[in-house]
């Protein structure tokens, strides 16, 4: 049975109820009984641990909608178990696992494999996403109805964009019938071909081929039109340029059911961080200019961008310790998602309520997950945060099996001190 706890004298931020107040969180048998200032007067259940959280903030556990794990097929990079431990350190209590595994998660047996492994080994909630096309090849749709029934929470081609417009139309029509979201990368296979970083002056100086912003905007515009045509739920997985956010706004005004996300990397880093060919900063979408980064932060604060994801993508030395153009894209991020995001709070760019909404409540709502709230009756998935604790990320402290973080030796202010999943303590400093 899960523990029963009472967190007292804690600042509670719960975007699902627009609550920001000092009070208590009462948890009994893994379920929230009360959370707020009114909970101070409700007594303490028997056999309950009481923790004084003066100076700390309690928020709904984070929900990361874009996580790559190596299991099955590349367990040396990451397993479901190791990813879940990394998530707990970062205050992430639920994540959606992408289908880019070997074999690809494109049939019922593999969805069930992911769920069983998650139940047996993970210390946070793991939700499988199913491949939109068989083998992620982009040519033949998977069995949406059966995969949805088996527990797939959305359909995506993971890292691979979908180029066939007719398949996209059919996929979104089917997904609509099953109440599912189609989540896609937007990268044109021709404009983006061969590019390894943002197209611009810096790429020219470094002698590297660039990826123009139009490589993202053009397929996004197409997807948004198809979303409007089919009335399906469409989610642009990772946007990196402000013109994309503007396109989302226009599509919404036309009545399309569309949402979008942004990687924490594109909110807190820019192309200059690549420096002298630092491959841990080789990402997809690429790090853009500082002007782009600032405008994406503004779009997040405004609510045009719905959610923030870690895009946790473990890579090992065999794929990263290479010349920049040859290195794989991707960086780990589960452990640093919140700490990096808090930079936007501390510099006044994004209010804390909006930030927690984008990291927890909104992704849970988009993908229909039982998470993202501290309301009575909800599972007690909670992250306790010290907003002012200074710390430095050292390579030795990284829990993930892979160490390809762009934040090695970075200084942060604000840290998760405890993480609870269904009332059970799964991480403590």
Across 371-389, average pLDDT: 97
Token representation of residue 32: 């929230």
Helix orientation angle between 165-177 and 214-230, rounded to the nearest 10 degrees = 50
pLDDT at 40: 83
pLDDT at 46: 73
Across 265-271, average pLDDT: 98
pLDDT at 212: 96
Say yes or no to pLDDT of 1 above 70. Answer: no
Across 354-363, average pLDDT: 98
- Report the alpha-carbon distance of residue 25 to residue 12 in Å, rounded: 8
pTM of the model: 0.96
Report the mean per-residue pLDDT for the chain: 95
Q: Given pLDDT bands bounded at 50, 70 and 90, which one contains residue 321?
A: confident
Across 290-315, average pLDDT: 97
Say yes or no to pLDDT of 105 above 70. Answer: yes
- Report the alpha-carbon distance of residue 29 to residue 309 in Å, rounded: 30
pLDDT at 382: 98
Across 237-254, average pLDDT: 97
Pairing of strands 31-36, 19-28: antiparallel
Nearest to 184 by CA among 230, 127, 227: 227
pLDDT at 2: 54
Across 143-172, average pLDDT: 96
pLDDT at 311: 96
Percentage with pLDDT > 90 across the chain: 93
Q: Given pLDDT bands bounded at 50, 70 and 90, which one contains residue 425?
A: very high
Structure confidence by residue, pLDDT tens digits, 73-104: 999 999 999 999 999 999 999 999 999 999 99
Q: Given pLDDT bands bounded at 50, 70 and 90, which one contains residue 288?
A: very high
Say yes or no to pLDDT of 359 above 60. Answer: yes
Say yes or no to pLDDT of 158 above 60. Answer: yes
Measure the CA angle with vertex 46, ends 45 and 47; round to 5°: 120
Structure confidence by residue, pLDDT tens digits, 5-61: 999 999 999 999 999 999 999 999 999 999 999 888 777 777 788 999 999 999 999
Structure confidence by residue, pLDDT tens digits, 187-230: 998 998 889 999 999 999 999 999 999 999 999 999 999 999 99
Dihedral of alpha carbons 217, 221, 223, 228, sign: positive
Say yes or no to pLDDT of 424 above 60. Answer: yes
Give the CA distances from residue 426 to residues 199, 204, 205, 381, 423, in Å, rounded to whole numbers and listed in that order.
43, 47, 47, 10, 9
Across 280-299, average pLDDT: 97
Helix orientation angle between 214-230 and 242-253, rounded to the nearest 10 degrees = 10
Across 135-139, average pLDDT: 95
pLDDT at 44: 75
Say yes or no to pLDDT of 237 above 70. Answer: yes
- Specify the higher pLDDT residue, 3 or 228: 228
- Specify the higher pLDDT residue, 41 or 346: 346
Q: Can you give the three-state secondary structure of 30-66, one letter per residue? A: CEEEEEEHHHHHCCCCCCCEEEECCCCEEEECEEEEE
Which residues does 48 contact at the CB level (< 8 Å), separation at least 6? 4, 5, 6, 28
pLDDT at 276: 86
pLDDT at 13: 98
């Amino acid at each position: 049975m899960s523990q029963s706890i009472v967190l007292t004298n804690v600042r509670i931020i719960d975007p699902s109820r627009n609550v920001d107040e000092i009070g208590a969180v009462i948890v009994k048998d893994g379920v929230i009984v009360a959370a707020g200032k009114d909970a101070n007067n409700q007594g303490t259940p028997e056999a309950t641990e009481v923790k004084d959280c003066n100076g700390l903030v309690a928020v709904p556990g984070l929900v990361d909608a874009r996580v790559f794990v190596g299991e099955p097929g590349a367990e040396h990079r990451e397993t479901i178990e190791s990813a879940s431990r990394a998530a707990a350190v970062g205050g992430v209590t639920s994540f959606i696992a992408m289908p880019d595994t070997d074999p690809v998660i494109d049939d019922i047996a593999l969805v069930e494999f992911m769920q069983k492994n998650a139940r047996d080994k993970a210390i946070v909630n793991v939700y499988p996403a199913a491949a939109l096309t068989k083998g992620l090849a982009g040519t033949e749709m998977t069995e949406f109805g059966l995969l949805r029934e088996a527990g797939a929470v959305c359909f995506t081609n993971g890292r691979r964009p979908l180029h066939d417009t007719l398949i996209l139309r059919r996929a979104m029509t089917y997904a609509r019938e099953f109440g599912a979201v189609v989540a896609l990368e937007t990268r044109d296979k021709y404009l983006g071909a061969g590019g390894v970083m943002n197209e611009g002056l810096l790429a020219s100086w470094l002698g590297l081929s660039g990826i123009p912003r139009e490589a993202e905007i053009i397929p996004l515009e197409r997807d948004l039109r198809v979303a409007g045509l089919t009335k399906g739920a469409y989610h642009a997985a990772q946007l990196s340029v402000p013109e994309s956010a503007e396109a989302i706004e226009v599509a919404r005004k036309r009545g399309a059911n569309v949402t979008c996300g942004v990687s924490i990397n594109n909110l807190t880093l820019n192309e200059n961080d690549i420096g002298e060919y630092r491959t841990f900063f080789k990402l997809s979408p690429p790090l853009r200019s500082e002007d782009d980064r600032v405008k994406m932060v503004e779009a997040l604060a405004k609510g045009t961008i719905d959610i923030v994801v870690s895009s946790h993508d473990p890579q090992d030395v065999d794929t990263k310790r290479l010349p920049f153009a040859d290195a794989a894209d991707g960086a780990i991020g589960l452990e640093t998602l919140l700490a990096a995001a808090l930079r936007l709070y501390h510099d006044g760019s994004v209010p804390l309520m909006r930030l927690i909404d984008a990291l927890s409540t909104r992704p849970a709502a988009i993908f229909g997950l039982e998470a993202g709230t501290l309301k009575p009756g909800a599972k007690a998935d909670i992250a306790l945060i010290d907003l002012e604790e200074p710390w430095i990320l050292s390579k030795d402290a990284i829990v993930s099996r892979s160490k390809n973080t762009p934040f090695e030796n970075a200084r942060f202010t604000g840290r998760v001190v405890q993480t609870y999943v269904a009332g059970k303590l799964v991480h403590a400093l």
